[in-house]
A and B are shown apart, each in its own frame.
Chain A
Amino acid sequence: MGHVYQTWNTSVKRLVAGFILSFFLLFLMYGLVTYNLFSGFTLCFVMMTIAFLQAAVQLFCFLHLGSEKSPFWNTVLFVFMLAIMLIVVVGSIWIMYNLDYHMMMKN
């Protein structure tokens, strides 16, 4: 009955560290937009970098993504999903943008 089932070492420290880091990154994103530090494509790029960084922090600190035993199936699966979603999301945006461009009326 006293058997601990966790397959990773959770600790309060990791959770709190994840919380503080995410908190800071959230305010960083908010500050970038509110104080207009970047604009246009640079803003998109910086914002997405911070968003992915925050997702990584949460995956590692809260969901313990890299901390499983040797075959690391959880991480492998997640990376595979990222690859597919990159194709789907970036592909959709690219194709639809292209479609928009070619369907525009040429004055």
Chain B
Amino acid sequence: MSGAHQEDYEKTLFGFWVYLITDFMLFGSLIAVYIVLDTNTFGGPSAKDLFNIPFALIQSLLMLSVAFASGMGSLKAHERNLRSTLSYFLIAAFISSVFLVRIFQEFGHVQSLGFSWKDSGFLSAYYSLNGIFGLHVILGLIWTVLCLIFVYIKGFHDVSLKRISCLKMFWQFLNIVWVFVFAIVYLLGVC
């Protein structure tokens, strides 16, 4: 009985890992596009004019905290500790919503300077990359809330543990993608 459950759990996690691999490829393509169009500013602003490195550093630290909190939450879930699991994932949800708000703040900052994604290849690539990243964060947030409600109501059994493990993998995947976005878009952009 537990053998079948174990196999089901492992298969689900592997399937989710395959999805994350394809998502890595999605972001890889977006980053490739960004690198190619980095200098196509068409007379408009460039990365130097728009991006603020301390801002991006704080984004990176926020994302790292989300990944860590998710890891701890998943650990506590496997120990069947309901309160700790909920706390850690709620912390992750809160920090990622702060992250999300700051991404929109940066979009707003660029727009307040009078530029939009239609103005150049560089801006278009930047908005696409950060926009799709933000979309992933939004979906992760919705998923976290739903998952926590489910775990709170149903307790820990096979389905809950599978979902929590997948959720943890998702946040940690986003963190890895953000490392590259931070290095390529913000750090190398401003140099």
Partners in one complex: yes
User: Which residues of A pack against B, CB within 8 Å?
Assistant: 1-7, 10-12, 15, 18-19, 22-23, 26-27, 29-30, 32-34, 39, 43-44, 47-48, 50-51, 54-55, 58-59, 62-63, 73-74, 77-78, 81, 84-85, 88-89, 92-93, 96
The interface of chain B, by Cβ under 8 A from chain A, is 2, 5-6, 9-10, 13-14, 17-18, 21, 24-25, 28-29, 31-33, 35-36, 53, 57, 60-61, 64, 67-68, 71-72, 74-75, 78, 80, 157-158, 161-162, 165, 169, 172-173, 175-176, 179-180, 182-184, 187-188, 190-191
**Chain A positions within 8 Å of B161 at CB level:** 5
How many residue pairs link A and B with beta carbons under 8 A? The number is: 120
CA distance A27 to B13 in the complex (A): 32
**For chain B, what secondary structure do more than half of its interface residues adopt (helix, strand, loop), or is it mixed?**
helix
Q: Do most interface residues of chain A lie in helix, strand or loop, or is the interface mixed? A: helix
Residues of B within 8 A of A6 (CB): 78
- CB pair B2–A81 under 8 Å, yes or no, is no
Of A11, A43, A55, the contact of B191 (CB 8 Å cutoff): A43
**Contact: A77 with B21, CB < 8 Å?**
yes
Which of A29, A63, A73 makes the CB contact (< 8 A) with B182?
A29
Inter-subunit contact A5/B71 (CB<8 Å):
no
Residues of B within 8 A of A39 (CB): 191
